[in-house]
Amino acid sequence: MCSWTPDFRKSVSMAPSSALFLTPVCFDAVGCTHVDRVFTFDKVFGPKSQQMSIYDQAISPIVAEVLEGFNCTAFAYGQTGTGKTYTKEGGMRNKGDEVPVEAGIIPRAGCQIFDPHES
């Protein structure tokens, strides 16, 4: 059985590009050989990425397409504890009507859909 884990030494060294190198980690030697693979992504966000930046670059265009009548999906995938839920939901909402800096993609999408003048 093999699982794929990021080779962070290669990934971090090429952070400005859109490729991520994955290295196999074998738990059972049957049928598993070491082969480097390169996967290309539209965007790769680092651990210091801000919620607004992620939303503006990756989600806002998808929401705009939904409003034009297209079926779209934003899919969050990753290892447990890597921040998927935080990215989707974000921090607590301010007591006013403003969306806080920590707001995730769900509250930001709601603002974009229901109050397009505010987004």
- pLDDT at residue 15 in the model: 46
pTM of the model: 0.63
Which range scores top for mean pLDDT: 7-11, 20-24, 30-34, 74-78? 74-78
Give the span between the Cα atoms of 67 and 61, in whole angstroms: 10
- pLDDT at residue 82 in the model: 85
Of the candidates 66, 44, 41, the one whose C-alpha atom is nearest the C-alpha of residue 53 is: 44
- State the virtual CA torsion across 87, 90, 96, 99 in degrees, nearest 10: -10
Mean pLDDT of 17-41: 60
- pLDDT at residue 14 in the model: 45
Q: Is pLDDT larger for residue 112 or for residue 23?
A: 112
From the CB of residue 3, how many other CB atoms can be counted at a distance below 10 Å?
A: 11
The binding site consists of: 78-85
The binding site for ATP consists of: 78-85
Percent of the chain with pLDDT over 70: 62
Q: With a cut of 80, say whether residue 4 has pLDDT above it.
A: no
DSSP reduced 3-state for 25: strand
